[in-house]
Structure 1
Amino acid sequence: MLVKRALSIAGGLAVIGWPFAVWLALSYPELHILLPILALCFVLRLCTLRGKTGALSRAFKGLALAGAVLSLASIWMREAQLLLWYPVVVNVVMLVLFGASLLSGMPVIERLARITEKNLPPAGVRYTRRVTQVWCIFFIFNGSVSLLTCLVGNVHWWTLWNAMVSYLLMGLLFACEWLVRQRVKRRYE
């Protein structure tokens, strides 16, 4: 259990540290040794997800596989620029996951809300649907800017967006949503 937890943490750090490692690998060719390490981290992440089911787990498995493939392709083709595409893949996968959940019976945010609140009132169901829609808009925006930074090819702009600005915007969205949720809960309690 401890080994699996350590592998899960390593995989999570690989995802968060990906933009910095890519920047290092692209800016300093002597640091291409990072590419096999990144591939290994994603393979380990994939291993920790083995046996888990559900749409979210499948999405995380797909992202781990995409990270490993991009890392291995970069090594094989000796073209580290391929690594820039991972944030675009992440945003597309998350948009598909969240968007598809809006078309199915239960949006992603509602599923997450029901983990702590089994009897979600109708107002809570409407609210979680709206939050899922907001996240879809975020993934479209963030993925578009990530795509633009890939196409421009400036590794410094790419790193600024994908390693800092997008994380700050995600944190801001989480914080704003939490504040709004507290207000909505008070109104309906």
Structure 2
Amino acid sequence: MKHARLLLFALLSLAYPLAVYLLLGRFEPRWLALLLCALALLRAFTTREPMWLWAAAATGLLAGWTSWTNSALPLKLYPVVINGVLLLVFSLSLRFGPPVIERLARLREPDLPPHAVVYVRRVTQVWCGFFLLNGSVALATALWASERVWALYNGLIAYLLIGTLFAVEWLVRQRVKARAHG
């Protein structure tokens, strides 16, 4: 049941910009706030981690703001909230450790060698930079771009950038591993 909720949340999150873009001209923003409420509730019910509960609360506030003002702007700020939460989580993990990427790496390799610990710390820093940049562009598109540009960036380009960063990191990691073992 929990996996089904996680899958539903992931699918809704991925489709969110496209859904907002397609539905915004057909429905008032206050009705689309129900989609944000659904995301907030799904997130709250799929986790007990404080960071995601804060994200759910922020999403709920955006939905309330949308309902109150009938404005589309809060709907378009959802990607900004998600990038902000991820930036906060990743940067706090750098400060208070272990870094997020190190935790993930240790799931595969519990005895991470010292050079790998340095590498995953750097990767966590790179992701912090990405979330800062991506969240800033998401904010700029929400404030100053058309709905079409907002949906294109937040519903396609941002995901392509995430995929590109994953692919580049994987290639760099292969070189780092080869250098360490060779």
Do both share a fold (TM > 0.5)?
yes
Whether 1:7 aligns to 2:5 is yes
Which residue identity is paired with 1:23? Y
| Cα deviation, residue 135, structure 1 | 0.7
| Cα deviation, residue 153, structure 1 | 4.1
Match of 2:61 among 40, 56, 69: 69
Q: Which residue of 2 aligns with 1:91?
A: 83
| Aligned counterparts, 1:22-101, within 5 A | 22-29=20-27, 33-50=31-48, 57-101=49-93
> 8 Å contact 1:23–1:155 — kept in the other structure?
yes
The number of residue pairs the alignment matches comes to 181
Whether 1:123 aligns to 2:115 is yes
> 8 Å contact 2:62–2:75 — kept in the other structure?
yes
27-36 or 98-107, larger mean C-alpha shift = 27-36
148-157 or 41-50, larger mean C-alpha shift = 41-50
TM value normalised by structure 1: 0.86
| Cα deviation, residue 179, structure 1 | 1.1
Match of 2:19 among 12, 18, 21: 21
Instruction: Measure the CA separation in 1 of the matches of 2:109 and 2:154.
Output: 33
Q: Which residue of 2 aligns with 1:54?
A: none
Whether 1:172 aligns to 2:172 is no
Q: Which residue of 2 aligns with 1:146?
A: 138
- Return closer, same or farther for 1:151/1:31 CA change in 2, 3 Å cut-off: closer
Unaligned runs of 5+ in 2: none
| Cα deviation, residue 31, structure 1 | 8.4
| Cα deviation, residue 28, structure 1 | 2.4
- Return closer, same or farther for 1:37/1:162 CA change in 2, 3 Å cut-off: closer
| Cα deviation, residue 94, structure 1 | 1.3
Let me know the Cα RMSD of the aligned residues.
Answer: 1.9
Unaligned runs of 5+ in 1: 51-56
Q: Give the share of equivalent positions with the same residue, in percent.
A: 46
Instruction: Measure the CA separation in 2 of the matches of 1:45 and 1:94.
Output: 14
- Return closer, same or farther for 1:41/1:135 CA change in 2, 3 Å cut-off: closer
Whether 1:110 aligns to 2:102 is yes
- Return closer, same or farther for 1:140/1:31 CA change in 2, 3 Å cut-off: closer
- Return closer, same or farther for 1:90/1:38 CA change in 2, 3 Å cut-off: closer
SS at match of 2:77: helix
> 8 Å contact 1:21–1:34 — kept in the other structure?
no
TM value normalised by structure 2: 0.89
| Cα deviation, residue 76, structure 1 | 3.4
> 8 Å contact 1:23–1:156 — kept in the other structure?
yes
